[in-house]
């Protein structure tokens, strides 16, 4: 009996082992997928779909401008921006001062941009500023001018947009001049302007900066009329908030108009009567200066500009006021329009003369630029 049972079990095992096994096919079971497998019995999460360019499994999408494969994206403020070419604008519309104790606290900001100012000067409201607290120069505020040497004033430097010549360091804009061979120049530096980005008519201007000392250096904080492209210089007008040359301990401020500038044959006698006033005595009908014991320390270079006058100061101490002439016109007073700011460090040229090559590298530093309007 045991033999019969054993034989029966062996026969059943033989029958079972010889039976064909059912094969399970895994694959994409979604008919809308570009790799749909009609023979698949079981989904294995392998489905792929055509992107907007028709590439199976591709990653091209329609960007925020409606272009398939476009490079624009929506930032955290909801703005459609190119993340590379317009990186300086990324999240800018919802960034601001988030310190509630600051005078420029922005309750709508969701990102702090480092622009907080503890207290405005009495009677003034901030309208434009750069605290230079970012990692890079803010392209929303400044553009680089790229020039070859000799472009103006027989200056020797090439102006570049390279980070070697202008960069942000420890909350300061640094403009660095170098002695090097570069594009037919022996010196390089940087010149930044706010044209089309920060153009202002009237107000209070406070710029905290630290000038270098060195033969051949010419740092400046100044302004040109926004119509320079159509009328040229000096018709556009020029406002020099601060100029310094070489190792001097003098700081100068000036205006230039088509009726009064240094190259006119009858300068300075032919200048209009600007009724210029200076507590320590005026130097020219359109220019004056002041002497600083520590000229290369940090100082606030200021100007208050209204429809009738421009008053220049250092550390809130006025040293020159230029007044609108009687019966003025655009030749004598082109200052009833928007102007843009310029920050630069020139090397050599008509005024400072040839540089001492032992001073390089040398830097001009700016801590902040603040522009206010009267309340």
For residues 196-215, give the mean pLDDT.
98
Separation of CA 253 from chain center = 25
Instruction: Determine the Cα–Cα distance for residues 195 and 199; give it in Å rounded to an integer.
Output: 6
Would you say residue 191 has pLDDT above 60?
A: yes
Give the number of other CB atoms < 10 A from CB of residue 366: 20
Q: What are phi and psi of 216, to 5 degrees?
A: 100, 0
User: What digits encode the pLDDT tens for the residues 130-139?
Assistant: 999 999 999 9
pLDDT of residue 284: 94
Omega within 30 of 0 (cis) for the link into 234: yes
pLDDT of residue 71: 93
Q: Domain ranges in the chain?
A: 2-43, 124-374
Instruction: Determine the Cα–Cα distance for residues 346 and 187; give it in Å rounded to an integer.
Output: 10
Burial label, 359 (beta-carbon count in 10 A; 0-12, 13-18, 19+): middle
Contact 113, 133 (CB under 8 A): yes
pLDDT of residue 1: 52
The CA–CA distances, whole Å, from 12 to 2, 6, 15, 19, 22 equal 16, 10, 5, 11, 19
The CA–CA distances, whole Å, from 326 to 50, 121, 238, 266, 297 equal 74, 31, 20, 20, 39
User: What digits encode the pLDDT tens for the residues 85-131?
Assistant: 998 899 999 999 999 999 999 999 999 999 999 999 999 999 999 99
The alpha-carbon radius of gyration of the chain (Å, integer) is 34
For residues 161-167, give the mean pLDDT.
98
Confidence of residue 317 (pLDDT cuts 50, 70, 90): very high
User: What digits encode the pLDDT tens for the residues 302-315?
Assistant: 999 999 999 999 99
pLDDT of residue 88: 87
pLDDT of residue 9: 47
- 123-154 core/surface letters (b: 16 or more CB in 10 A; e: else): ebebebbbbbbeeebbeebbbbeebebeeeee
The CATH number corresponding to 124-374 among 2.60.120.200, 3.40.50.10440, 2.40.160.60, 2.40.50.140 equals 2.60.120.200
pLDDT of residue 96: 93
Would you say residue 292 has pLDDT above 90?
A: yes
Better-predicted residue by pLDDT, 21 or 193? 193
Active-site residue numbers?
A: 238, 243
User: What digits encode the pLDDT tens for the residues 325-373?
Assistant: 999 999 999 999 999 999 999 999 999 999 999 999 999 999 999 999 9
pLDDT of residue 325: 97
pLDDT of residue 41: 86
Would you say residue 13 has pLDDT above 60?
A: no
Instruction: Determine the Cα–Cα distance for residues 348 and 171; give it in Å rounded to an integer.
Output: 28
- Coil, strand, or helix at residue 203? strand
User: What digits encode the pLDDT tens for the residues 227-268?
Assistant: 999 999 999 999 999 999 999 999 999 999 999 999 999 999
pLDDT of residue 280: 87
User: What digits encode the pLDDT tens for the residues 14-72?
Assistant: 544 455 567 899 999 999 999 999 999 899 999 999 999 999 999 999 999 999 999 99
In the structure encoding, which two tokens stand for residue 15, read together? 């029958």
- The closest alpha carbon to 211, from 349, 359, 355, 366, belongs to 366
Would you say residue 217 has pLDDT above 60?
A: yes
- The closest alpha carbon to 250, from 208, 288, 304, belongs to 288
pLDDT of residue 11: 47
Confidence of residue 7 (pLDDT cuts 50, 70, 90): very low
């Amino acid at each position: 009996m045991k033999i019969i049972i054993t034989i029966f079990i062996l026969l059943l095992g033989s029958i079972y082992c010889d039976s064909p096994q059912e094969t399970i096919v895994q694959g994409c079971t979604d008919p809308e997928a570009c790799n749909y497998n009609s023979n698949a019995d079981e989904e294995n999460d392998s489905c792929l779909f055509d992107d907007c360019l028709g590439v199976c499994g591709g990653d091209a999408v329609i960007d925020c401008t409606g272009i398939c494969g476009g490079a624009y994206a929506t930032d955290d403020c909801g703005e459609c921006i190119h993340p590379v070419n317009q990186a300086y604008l990324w999240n800018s519309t919802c960034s601001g001062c988030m310190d509630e104790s600051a005078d420029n606290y922005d309750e709508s900001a969701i990102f702090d941009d480092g622009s907080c100012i503890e207290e405005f000067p009495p009677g003034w409201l901030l309208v434009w500023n750069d605290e230079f607290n970012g990692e890079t120069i803010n392209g929303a505020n400044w553009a680089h001018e790229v020039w070859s040497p000799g472009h103006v004033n027989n200056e020797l430097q090439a102006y570049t947009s390279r980070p070697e010549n202008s960069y942000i360091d420890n909350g300061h804009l640094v403009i660095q001049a170098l002695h090097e061979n570069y594009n037919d120049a022996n010196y390089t530096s940087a010149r930044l302007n706010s044209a089309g980005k920060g153009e202002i008519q009237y107000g209070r201007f406070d710029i905290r900066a630290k000038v270098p000392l060195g033969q051949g250096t010419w740092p400046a904080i100044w302004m040109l009329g926004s119509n320079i492209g159509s009328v040229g210089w000096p018709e556009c007008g020029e406002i020099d908030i601060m100029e310094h040359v070489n190792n001097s301990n003098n700081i100068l401020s000036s205006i230039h108009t088509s009726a009064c500038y240094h190259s006119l044959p009858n300068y300075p006698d032919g200048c209009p009567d600007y009724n210029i006033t200076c507590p320590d005595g005026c130097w020219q009908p359109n220019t004056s200066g002041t002497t600083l014991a520590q000229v290369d320390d940090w100082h606030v270079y200021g100007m208050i500009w209204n429809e009738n006058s421009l008053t220049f100061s250092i550390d809130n101490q006025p040293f020159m006021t230029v007044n609108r002439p009687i019966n003025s016109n655009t030749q004598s007073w082109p200052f009833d329009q928007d102007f843009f700011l310029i920050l630069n460090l020139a090397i050599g040229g008509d005024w400072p003369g040839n540089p001492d090559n032992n001073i390089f590298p040398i830097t001009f530093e700016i801590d902040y630029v603040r522009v206010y309007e009267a309340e």
